[in-house]
A = this chain, B = another copy of it.
Amino acid sequence: MSQNDISSQMLKGILQGCLLILINQQPYYGYAISQELSKYGFADVPKGTIYPLLMSMEKKGLIVGKTQPSKDGPQRKYYHITTTGKQARQTFLNKWDMLSLNVNDLINERRNDT
């Protein structure tokens, strides 16, 4: 892992928000999500992370999964966003804005430190 990769530690807490953004756009299944995340630098988010996270999000009522057969392989479980999920998505957007503003402030006020 290069020093510019996003570490699993930093991804914590943000991953769920990103999944809400994706699933809000269109129904996604787990495997496709991990492929989509790769496009945004979240290379190789382990399936041991992503599938259990999707299950816990379903348990919280943020998304609902519907299995559908695929002619390219085994069944896919497509997750759809719920009303609760849409609210959680908006909350995430607000929190992410706050977080990045604050962290950037903290960094920039100390830019000149060795």
Residues of chain A touching chain B, judged by Cβ–Cβ distance below 8 Å, are: 3-14, 16-18, 21-22, 24-25, 40-42, 86, 91, 93-96, 98-107, 110, 113-114
Closest to A101 in B: B41
Contact between chains at A99 and B3 (CB < 8 Å): no
Interface residue from B3, B91, B106 paired with A21 (Cβ < 8 Å): B106
- 14 residue pairs from A and B, CB less than 8 Å apart: A6-B95, A6-B102, A9-B16, A10-B13, A12-B13, A14-B99, A14-B103, A21-B107, A22-B110, A40-B103, A41-B101, A41-B102, A42-B102, A93-B107
Contact between chains at A106 and B18 (CB < 8 Å): yes
**A40–chain B nearest beta-carbon distance, Å:** 4
Contact between chains at A3 and B40 (CB < 8 Å): no
Known: A4-B98, A14-B99, A41-B98. 10 other contacts (CB 8 A): A6-B102, A7-B13, A18-B106, A21-B106, A21-B107, A22-B106, A22-B110, A40-B105, A86-B114, A93-B107
